[in-house]
């Protein structure tokens, strides 16, 4: 016969994203990298470098990320890149 007893399991804490804040201004978003105001808006930014090793079944490394809002991307980062000689490329997309 199984004798059953009740045991109180401790609750666990989990880290979840509260919001993302632009590193250059006070802009915030509740999403990971989408700064759009509605669920249908696409307004994503990502400035990062990924370094490491990638093999067919494995990989590891470090990703260095700068959280930047679309306004700072367009008004601060792009002008700086252009001033450094960068040629900016725009590509249309659809899904
Ligand atoms: Zn910003």
Ligand 1 centroid, distance to 68 Cα (angstroms): 5
pLDDT at 16 > cutoff 80 = yes
Cα–Cα distance for residue pair 55/1, rounded to 1 Å? 51
Q: Residue 27 Cα, ligand 1 centroid: separation in angstroms?
A: 5
Q: What angle do CA 73, 74, 80 make, to 5 degrees?
A: 80
76: nearest Cα among 31, 36, 28, 25: 25
In this prediction, residue 45 has a pLDDT band, given cuts at 50, 70 and 90, of very high
CA 11 from chain center: how many Å? 28
Ligand 1: distance of its center to the CA of 65 in Å? Answer: 14
pLDDT at residue 95 tops 90: no
Are 80 and 73 within 8 A, CB to CB?
no
> Distance, CA 78 to ligand 1 centroid (Å)?
13
């Amino acid at each position: 016969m199984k004798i059953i007893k009740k045991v109180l399991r401790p609750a666990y804490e989990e880290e979840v994203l509260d919001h993302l804040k632009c590193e250059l201004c006070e802009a915030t978003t509740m999403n990971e990298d989408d700064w759009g105001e509605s669920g249908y808006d696409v307004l994503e930014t990502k400035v990062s470098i990924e370094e490491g090793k990638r093999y067919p079944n494995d990989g590891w490394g470090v990703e260095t990320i700068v959280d930047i809002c679309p306004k700072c991307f367009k008004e601060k980062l792009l002008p700086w890149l252009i001033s450094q000689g960068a040629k900016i490329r725009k590509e249309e997309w659809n899904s």
